[in-house]
Structure 1
Amino acid sequence: MMRELDWINSRARLFPHDEAIVDAELNDSWSFQQLNERAILIATFFREKGVKKGDRVALLSPNHISYFDFLFACIKIGAIFVPLNWRLSKDEMDYVLSDANPKIIGIHQYFNKKFSWIEEDYYVLNIEDNHYVNDLINISQAFIPEESLNESDPLAMIYTGGTTGKPKGAVLSHRSILWNALNTIVSWNLTDEEATITTLPMFHTGGLNALIVPVLLAGGKVIVTDDFEPKKAVEDLIKHKCTIVLFVPTMYHMIIKTDAFRTSNFPHMKVFLSGGAPCPLNIYDAFEQKGLLFKEGYGLTEAGPNNFYIDPEEAKHKRGSVGKPMVFNDIKIINDNGQEVDINEVGELCLRGNHSFEFYWNKEEETKKTKIDGWLHTGDLARKDKDGFVYIVGRKKEMIISGGENIYPLEIEHWLSSLEGINEVAVVGIPHDKWGEAVAAFVSFNKGKQFNEQELQEYCSRKLSSYKIPKKFFVIDELPKTHVGKIDKKSLVQQYSNTFA
């Protein structure tokens, strides 16, 4: 067995009393030794319930200590951790659970009512509070870890949207997660003095893998909070002496408008990170005016999500750039023929490194289309300047990113098209100061039919998660077409780009 894969056990052995996790709401805290002991309890419980290497165990919870319990328990027994997106609709959640087929699902009491139907088909572990592990099992003998564990074995499966709206389970191996963390530590110069707060949902790779795992592996401290409120986020950063933090642009948009931000000097913060979507330049301005270091990053569930490094001082002069590839990964930008593009020419961004995902669960053909000759084809468009700095300029596909959430128009279009009386529909992302992009739907009706905006929103709410429901519906007689007869979405975006200004 590769015992070095159980790095939380090693941390507990070397630095047992160092503080690792803090619950910002309840002020509970756990050392590395206590974190490891909790993981052993959960791992033993999983085994008693028949969980074996390769089996999936899922978690449906707001940000909570249970994410660490489940992840580190899976490291010990070779199970696959599946964090569930609690924003999914019932149909979407049912699809994910059917696809993953978990042996056990941990459900936090916060979601007991909303997802009560899950208990009918799956074994559910109810999570009442931070101390739920104490009621599970008494260990009478030493825990024996999985003996046949290899670095290429799956460790986590994080679901990401598909081009048709069906989520895909991106399988991350021990190697994927460990190398992302090592690459981040080395490239970003993280140390055991780091402290970060996580308000991004931990079912996202940005919440779980961008900073949490790297900071803990380096010996730092993670402060957990289950909700985002801009004023409180600022207060928590100061209270817990945070040194590094990741928010999405929507969060920064709200933070910089608070009095707490304007009056705070953040004495311990080394750098603020932005990810999940391109960041408006006015946010750069707000931080530069206060003399605070700020930079952007780029990643995706299938890779990292950390792929680039930029010195915060350089970020002032290379605004909008995500920087250069980190120490242990490579990139290339290619045209439609697969050839690398010239300086400042736009092409598809491809990534390569040990941090890349292994495959899509139950989707062999999708995997083959995404991973080609060792390169991960991101579907995102980028350019590289003469100094080697990379800029993300758009998306090859029509994906919308709103408030850090990936939204695929085709799913919304299909659902709206199923409403009798709708003739044509097109869904696009319109620039929005707060959300980055807002979902907008353009519809035309059949003769004799008419729906108002409230009726259309209510219809969408029957099927779609709240963040996918269009913020605005435009009723027009006929949708514009290209010369080949396709709906011209580009012209719609150009024509209505100032809608939310």
Structure 2
Amino acid sequence: MHCALDWFQSRVDLFPEKKAVVDAKTNDTWTYKQLNERAERLAQYFIERDIQKGDRVALLAPNHISYFDFIFACMKIGTVFVPLNWRLSNDELRYVVQDCSPKFIGIDPQFQGNLTQVEIDSILIEIDNNNYIDHLQTSSTLSEVHEPDETDALAMIYTGGTTGKPKGAVLSHRSILWNAMNTIISWNLTNEDITLTCLPMFHTGGLNALSLPLILVGGKVVISPEFEASTAVNDVITYECTIVLCVPTMYHMMIRTKAFQQADFPKMKVFLSGGAPCPHEIYKAFREKGIPFKEGYGLTEAGPNNFYIDPAETERKVGSVGKSMLFNDIKIITENGDKVDGCDVGELLIRGNHSFEYYWNKQEQTDRTIIDGWVYTGDLARQDEEGYVYIVGRKKDMIITGGENVYPLEVEHWLESNETISEAAVLGLPDEKWGEIVVAFVVPTEKVTETELKMYCEKKLTKYKVPKKFVLLDELPKTHVGKINKAELRDKVVEMN
């Protein structure tokens, strides 16, 4: 017998010999039955080392079969999986490890140095290759399973954030299952679908956007331990992927490769973009090749899948993430908490069984984020008359200059439509006269002057939206998951002044 929440065991029972996971680097392949045997072996290892229901087990590794070993072992015995971000600084990693206090850490040898300065009281094992599981000293059969409540924690993913300490978002069995079911039904995923996971699996996009939904539906997940643009394009073709999620930074690199320019992706149903608003030039690159491409929206605390748009609608509704998926609700509210009028901009709220339960050890922040069952995302959005939603930007990024609201994303999209600009980021900086002024940071592809950029902006943008200052850079700083790090840009300006 197995508990009803161990849906993975049910999937294994239905199609034990179907291929479930492929390692793109080694070409090792595991069936659902083999994946389950690995998870049971690891779960028994935990049990024999007195790791109990509710205890945290952490993993510090690049994308690897161990991510599935860990989460499915946790599903069986009620432990909590904490994927650690290997891109964190030593101080940040120390904070996260001390905050979640794992009883056990699996670590890839290349990251041993990351833990040298972290005081830990955990059992450590090396995840040195795909066969690490065979070297665990443990009996071969799983001696017990726990029947968790649906709201019991299954995973804890630390949010990247660019301000403050990382927060551990606790995702329950219910959160992860409902996100997967909602995705499968709303996006029409089937057991014939194949994805390439090159987003880091310590991130909700790598783990929960497509990897776990495809395992639930009986599809195939190809894992890649690192992202290299040409390799990713070739892997998509080699493994006949049908649906893939990347962040805009990845697509920005991919569309410039020879591999992309020569490819026609015969099996691909749709490329998805998430993690940050997608520049329109990326839409254009896919449209010119006749490849379906669309944008999604999610966050660690909700989903991360919340919307659906038919790829055929993306040209008519450029930049829209679509409409709310089947099993979640959304609303857009004013500062006063009222629903916005018509197409006005307001804060996006999300509600559904896929949302997180709470922030680990942070009750006050939990209470500010979940109110009456709604997750307050901190993102600004608008909804057109047909119900299509557009993400306008972060609430904290909105610029108020001379009493007028400026949404940086609108300015960024216009700048990035200029062929001489590779990337752009816009933020507000304090100003005695205006309160804030609009400042643009741009990465040019060829020589361009501030005057030329200003004239270009004046062609399209209202006067108060035109940046008062342009800062030319060789590259824009990025966060751990490839988003533009606006906090670091703000610090650059302070240093310059």
Q: TM-score normalised by the shorter chain: which range applies?
A: 0.7 to 0.9
Number of the residue aligned with 1:6: 6
One-letter code aligned to 2:13: R
How far off its partner does 1:490 sit?
Answer: 4.0
Number of the residue aligned with 1:35: 35
One-letter code aligned to 1:307: N
How far off its partner does 1:126 sit?
Answer: 1.2
Residues 1:439 and 1:45: Cα distance change in structure 2 (over 3 Å)? farther
Distance in 1 between the 2:10 and 2:286 partners? Answer: 38
Structure 2: 5+ residue stretches without partners = 400-407, 442-466, 475-497
How far off its partner does 1:217 sit?
Answer: 0.6
One-letter code aligned to 2:209: A
Distance in 2 between the 1:287 and 1:163 partners? Answer: 30
How far off its partner does 1:481 sit?
Answer: 3.2
How far off its partner does 1:398 sit?
Answer: 3.7
Identity %: 59
Number of the residue aligned with 1:314: 313
Number of the residue aligned with 1:449: none
Deviations 1:291-344 (A, max 9, x none): 110000000000000000000001121010000000000000000011111222
Residues 1:262 and 1:335: Cα distance change in structure 2 (over 3 Å)? same
Number of the residue aligned with 2:333: 334
The residue correspondences of 1:208-357 to structure 2 (distance < 5 A) are 208-357=207-356
Equivalent position SS for 1:114: helix
Equivalent position SS for 1:377: strand
Number of the residue aligned with 2:53: 53
**Counterpart selection for 1:480 from 417, 427, 431:** 431
Distance in 1 between the 2:124 and 2:281 partners? Answer: 46
The residue correspondences of 1:344-493 to structure 2 (distance < 5 A) are 344-398=343-397, 431=412, 480-481=431-432, 488=436, 490=438
**Contact 1:277–1:436 (8 Å) recurs in 2:** no
Equivalent position SS for 1:317: coil
Structure 2 length-normalised TM: 0.83
One-letter code aligned to 1:105: I
Structure 1 length-normalised TM: 0.82
Deviations 1:87-138 (A, max 9, x none): 1111111111111010001111121233334475432111111000101134
Residues 1:102 and 1:142: Cα distance change in structure 2 (over 3 Å)? closer
Residues 1:200 and 1:435: Cα distance change in structure 2 (over 3 Å)? farther
One-letter code aligned to 1:201: P
**Contact 2:428–2:437 (8 Å) recurs in 1:** no
**Contact 1:308–1:322 (8 Å) recurs in 2:** yes
Number of the residue aligned with 2:153: 154
Number of the residue aligned with 1:114: 114
Equivalent position SS for 1:3: coil
Distance in 2 between the 1:203 and 1:105 partners? Answer: 14
Number of the residue aligned with 1:499: 472
Structure 1: 5+ residue stretches without partners = 401-427, 443-478
One-letter code aligned to 1:274: S
Distance in 2 between the 1:4 and 1:482 partners? Answer: 62
Number of the residue aligned with 2:26: 26
Equivalent position SS for 2:386: coil
**Contact 2:2–2:145 (8 Å) recurs in 1:** no
Worse overlay, 116-125 or 242-251: 116-125
Distance in 2 between the 1:224 and 1:325 partners? Answer: 29
Residues 1:58 and 1:489: Cα distance change in structure 2 (over 3 Å)? farther
Distance in 1 between the 2:289 and 2:439 partners? Answer: 39
Number of the residue aligned with 2:131: 131
The residue correspondences of 1:52-91 to structure 2 (distance < 5 A) are 52-91=52-91
Number of the residue aligned with 1:405: none
**Contact 2:61–2:86 (8 Å) recurs in 1:** yes
| Alignment: residue pair count | 434
Number of the residue aligned with 1:94: 94
Equivalent position SS for 1:82: strand
Distance in 1 between the 2:260 and 2:288 partners? Answer: 12
Residues 1:40 and 1:142: Cα distance change in structure 2 (over 3 Å)? closer
Residues 1:118 and 1:498: Cα distance change in structure 2 (over 3 Å)? closer
**Contact 1:22–1:28 (8 Å) recurs in 2:** yes
Residues 1:106 and 1:155: Cα distance change in structure 2 (over 3 Å)? same
Equivalent position SS for 1:167: coil
One-letter code aligned to 1:265: D
Residues 1:292 and 1:49: Cα distance change in structure 2 (over 3 Å)? same
Number of the residue aligned with 1:192: 191
Q: CA RMSD in A?
A: 2.4
Distance in 2 between the 1:435 and 1:302 partners? Answer: 31
**Contact 2:107–2:124 (8 Å) recurs in 1:** yes
How far off its partner does 1:289 sit?
Answer: 0.9
Distance in 2 between the 1:70 and 1:187 partners? Answer: 27
Number of the residue aligned with 1:457: none
One-letter code aligned to 1:496: K
One-letter code aligned to 1:97: V
Worse overlay, 37-46 or 118-127: 118-127
One-letter code aligned to 1:126: E
**Contact 2:370–2:376 (8 Å) recurs in 1:** yes
One-letter code aligned to 1:268: K
Distance in 1 between the 2:171 and 2:177 partners? Answer: 10
1:168 aligns with 2:170: no
Distance in 1 between the 2:174 and 2:308 partners? Answer: 20
Worse overlay, 325-334 or 160-169: 160-169
Deviations 1:177-199 (A, max 9, x none): 00000000000000000000011
Equivalent position SS for 2:114: coil
Residues 1:439 and 1:323: Cα distance change in structure 2 (over 3 Å)? closer
Equivalent position SS for 2:392: strand
How far off its partner does 1:151 sit?
Answer: 0.8
Distance in 1 between the 2:422 and 2:122 partners? Answer: 36
Deviations 1:397-452 (A, max 9, x none): 2499xxxxxxxxxxxxxxxxxxxxxxxxxxx999586996669999xxxxxxxxxx
**Contact 1:278–1:436 (8 Å) recurs in 2:** no
